[in-house]
Amino acid sequence: MALGTLLASSATLLCCVLPAVLVSIGAGAALVTLVTAMPQLVWLSERKGVVFGIAGALLLVSGLLLARARSLPCPVEPRAARSCIRLRRTNAWVYGIALGAYVIGALFAFLLPALTAAA
């Protein structure tokens, strides 16, 4: 579940952060080349509300599942217990990365355009 959430939140980075960063550093030609090679970026950008809604729902479900799994017992066998603990830590890191990607994407997609329009 955490990897699916990471994939969905990566879509938010592709639709909104990547184009904004490329244009802001003066790499507009690179953005045109990228959009020519991957026209799906335009589709994602046009439907950023849906992309962010799906990614947010996946983040919420994944967070609830991780919180629930935290209280579940690990196996008694030492090797399996270490694996269980390591997997929980890895899931928490992946969830944190996905959450960070979602927040950065939301900043670029919604907050920064609103701030620049107001200025």
Closest CA to 1 of 94, 73, 96, 118: 94
* pLDDT, tens only, 19-34: 877 877 888 888 888 8
Burial 82-99 (b: 16+ CB within 10 A, else e): eebeeeeeebeebbeebb
Domain ranges of the chain: 2-118
* pLDDT tens-place string over residues 40-87: 878 877 888 888 898 889 889 888 988 998 889 999 999 999 999 999
| Least confident interval from 8-17, 34-43, 100-109 | 8-17
State residue 30's pLDDT score: 85
Q: What is the pTM of this model?
A: 0.77
